[in-house]
Amino acid sequence: MNMAFQDKQIKDLLTRLQKVRDILKIDNLYLELVDFEQQMAAPNFWSDQDRAKKIGQEASQIKSEIDAYEELQAELREASEVAVLAESENDTEMLAVIKDQLDGVASRLQKLEFSTLLDGEHDKGDAIISLHAGAGGDDASDWASLLFRMIIRYAESKDWQVEILEQSLGEGAGIKSITFAVRGRFAYGFLKAEAGVHRLVRISPFDAEKMRHTSFALCEVIPELSEVQESSIAIDEKDLRIDTFASSGAGGQSVNTTNSAVRITHIPTNTVVSIQNERSQGQNKMTAMKILKSRLYQKMLAEQKAEIKDLRGGHIAPEWGNQIRSYVLHPYKMVKDHRTGYETQAVEGVLNGELEPFIEAFLQKTALER
C-alpha cells in the first residue's frame, strides 16, 4: 500500500468518524454520563432500586458508546502519525501493519455507524414484546418458545435486562403467548425489526411419523413509554372493562388463590391486556395499564403512517403469506428474511440469538425507504 492511498484512507475514516460523532451527539453523551454519575454518587441513590438499576445500566451503555468512539479516534490519530514516520523511513513492514490496523478500524467504525440508523423517537428506549403461537398445537407452542429463547439470547448479547410480564403455557409444550419487557439502550430500535409473523418448517418432534410441519408465531414489538409519554395519553374510564381472575401456571393450576390477575379491555379498539406476573392485583393493574397505553400509542402511530402512505399512493404488495422471516430446518437449512432478502444457512446460530445481520439489513432498508 502506498502512502498516498493510506493517507486518503485515514482521512476518509476520520470524516466518517466525525459524521458519527455528530449524529450520535457524542458531546451530549458526555453530559448525560456526568449527570448519571452524579446521581449514582448521591447517598440515597439505592433507595429506589429499580430506578437505580435502570440509571446504572443506561450509564454503562452510554460509556460503552463513548469508549468505542474514543478508541477509534485514538487509533486513527496514532495510525496517521506512524504512517508519516514509516513513509519517511521507507518501512514497508510498518506500512503493512498500519494497513491491517486500518482495516480493523474500518470494521469497528461500521458497527458504530450502524447505531446511527436508530434515530426514531423511541429507538433509544425500552421495548415490550408479545409472542403468540399460531394454530398447530404443540408444534406452534414450541416454536413460540424457541423464538422467545432466540430474542432472550440476543438481548443477553447486548447486556439488556428482560422481565417477563405475562405468559400462558402450552398444553403439552412451549408457550401459547408471552409478554416481556426488554430494557436497555436502543432495545426498541433494534428489536422492532422482529415484529411480524415468523414461520418455521421442520420435522416435528411431536409427530410419531416424523412428518414435516410448518408452524407460525406472531411477534409484536411496541415501545415502553416513559412516565411523561404515558401521562399524555388520556383514556376514559368508561372505555375500559376490567376483569380479575386467579393467576394460573402450567396446566391451568392455580398458583394464587386470590383474584390477583387482571385483564383490561379497551372497548373502542378491542385492545386486551392480561397481566398476572405481579404479586398483587394493584401491581398487575398498573402494569396492564402501562402496556395498554403503549399499545394504544402504537396504534395511533400506525394509523398516522397509514394515512400518510395512503396520501402517497402506497399499497401492500400482494405477496404470498404474511411471514417476515422463514426458518427452514428440513429438507435444507436456511433462514431468510422476506423483507430484505437477507439469508443464511447458519440456522442454529440465528436461533441462538445471532440476529445482528438481519436487523442491520432491515434498518438499512427502512432508512432507504424514508
DSSP per-residue letters across 342-366? -EES-HHHHHTT--HHHHHHHHHHH
pLDDT of residue 247: 67
Which phi and psi angles does 332 have, rounded to 5°?
-140, 175
Ordered by start, the domain boundaries in the chain are 3-117, 127-224+325-368, 230-311
pLDDT of residue 117: 84
Architecture of domain 3-117: Up-down Bundle (1.20)
177, 274 Cβ separation under 8 angstroms: no
What are the average pLDDT values for consecutive 10-residue runs of the chain, which has 370 residues? 71 90 88 93 89 85 89 90 81 83 88 82 90 88 96 95 89 90 92 94 87 91 79 86 75 48 92 82 88 86 62 36 89 96 97 96 85
Domains 127-224+325-368 and 230-311 share a fold: no
C-alpha 286/C-alpha 342 separation (Å) is 40
- The length of the chain in residues reads 370
pLDDT of residue 34: 94
CATH number of 230-311: 3.30.160.20
pLDDT of residue 195: 92
pLDDT of residue 276: 81
User: The whole model's pTM is what?
Assistant: 0.74
Q: Does domain 127-224+325-368 have CATH number 3.40.1120.10?
A: no
C-alpha 54/C-alpha 67 separation (Å) is 20
pLDDT of residue 93: 83
pLDDT of residue 253: 38
